[in-house]
Structure 1
């Protein structure tokens, strides 16, 4: 962890001189500094955000999820601080939300919104697809009770985005192994497909393996191939061998890559499921989602 200091406080305490502060330190937020050349972690930046609030704020949102251990969160995201309002700064978001004691915990020496309050905020304040991906990753790290989040929504029914949160919570699945997998699953659900099971256990030779998502009853799977799969030659060869093994076992595997248009792989998935006898009933809203998929990149 880097040394993070409040400049004025450190000068008054004799920790640094003003000359040393200007020469050897760099500004993170107004009045908060780190030594030049240090590689700042998300925890460092969260500490800086807390200090700039006069040690009165509570780390919230995506930064709080990261401090709770949620994966796939970069160190350079904006840090959200709840419980007070301050002038905006680059990389710092403040919210005046009032928090009660049971919505605050300590993580890494910092006051942080509880896992339940963090889920509550992620689900209501982020764009819908991003919100589900963040909720999935929080659940992937450590399961939380959906019922507890709903109780919190009942406690704060008038806060912004509570309606979206209630719609998303039944869709949360801690089996999504990446934000992109969450997005693939959301397209499936929005377009009227039966809810897929995630992390379906298989055997790859003598080793356990898992399919990203699919329907065991129909032996149809959807696999998202991330960039790391295509750049790693050994991984690529392993994936091809596993695909052949699955096909020999009677599975139809729909492979999705980042460049694929949703409409294309959704159509292949529907053909596969119908071929295996899966019935479809599509609502008007799901038909509209399919229209959106046709236009989405």
Structure 2
């Protein structure tokens, strides 16, 4: 990254408080108004070479500089810092503030008011953040239901929180807004789910009454590992998988062909679906899976 020779090294990468830089003699007010610096929030600036409009971490750093002592980054912003990327492009930073605390509104800031005891706050990546447990608790009780489940599955997948710990935390906080929704989410949560779209596909099938099904099932033939499939009815040797854009890469496509041939040779049927199938054609997707289940059940030998 190129920076002007007069730019202090400590201000070249991360957002900073303009007033502090001026007080420490690093910059002057006229310099802050020049083209070298981008104003992110009141009194918060970043060097123009470090500015990325869609860099959520940059915006988290900026908001962190403005947070009152008893506040914390929360929700999807906290999940993002923990490695669970649930954010839409240009998503605002979520900050959780106690009821009496105020923070100036901004388009890149979303404020939530809620009790926030000290035990629910930590310092993570240099920022005040709700704990993974509190983050999962908050996201799991925030409608819509599918997005709540996606968020909880993502945090479980990152192993920053466990399902038993989250259930214990929820039981200790009865009566909070969204508690009934959280109960549903915890009953459906799956730590083995590997992507948000896989979670949505699984929820679609469960809501259609096509469960129970097994996530990330290992298929073996003669004791030899063949493949791990996203969702399966092992007794029926039927699998359902979500195919993201990475499956279109040539090397991945070739591996997928060999893998599907091996599964078919072992007597498995694999149905593959894309985002369009899950989000835009859910009825057709459910119908196809239901038909496959009906076809496989009579074919099974009776014990």
Alignment TM-score > 0.5, same fold: yes
Interval containing the TM-score (normalised by the shorter chain): 0.7 to 0.9
Aligned to 1:53: 67
Aligned to 2:78: 64
What 5-or-longer segments of structure 1 have no aligned partner?
279-297
Q: CA RMSD in A?
A: 2.4
Aligned to 1:227: 245
Q: Deviations over 1:28-47 (max 9, x none)?
A: 22321111121554333212
Aligned to 1:170: 187
Deviation of the 1:77 alpha carbon: 3.1
Deviation of the 1:111 alpha carbon: 1.8
Aligned to 2:107: 90
Aligned to 2:294: 274
Q: Classify the secondary structure of the residue corresponding to 1:211.
A: strand
CA contact (8 A) 2:136 2:166 kept: yes
Deviation of the 1:235 alpha carbon: 1.3
Question: Distance in 1 between the 2:30 and 2:201 partners?
Answer: 53
Aligned to 2:157: 140
Aligned to 2:145: 128
Question: Distance in 2 between the 1:150 and 1:225 partners?
Answer: 31
CA contact (8 A) 2:74 2:129 kept: yes
Deviation of the 1:94 alpha carbon: 1.4
Deviation of the 1:276 alpha carbon: 2.4
Question: Distance in 2 between the 1:267 and 1:91 partners?
Answer: 42
Question: Distance in 2 between the 1:4 and 1:235 partners?
Answer: 39
Q: Deviations over 1:95-151 (max 9, x none)?
A: 221111221122112221111111101111242111111111111110633343334
Deviation of the 1:277 alpha carbon: 2.1
CA contact (8 A) 2:217 2:229 kept: yes
Question: Distance in 1 between the 2:287 and 2:137 partners?
Answer: 34
Distance 1:144 1:56, change over 3 A: closer
Distance 1:4 1:263, change over 3 A: same
**Runs of 4 or more above 6 Å deviation:** none
CA contact (8 A) 2:73 2:129 kept: yes
Give the alignment partner of residue 194 of structure 1, picking from 205, 211, 226: 211
TM-score scaled by structure 1? 0.84
Q: Classify the secondary structure of the residue corresponding to 2:33.
A: helix
Aligned to 1:18: 29
Q: Deviations over 1:203-257 (max 9, x none)?
A: 69x8764211111111111111112212x12212221221121111111111101
Aligned to 2:19: 8
Aligned to 1:294: none
Q: Classify the secondary structure of the residue corresponding to 2:297.
A: coil
Deviation of the 1:82 alpha carbon: 1.0
Give the alignment partner of residue 218 of structure 1, picking from 212, 229, 236: 236
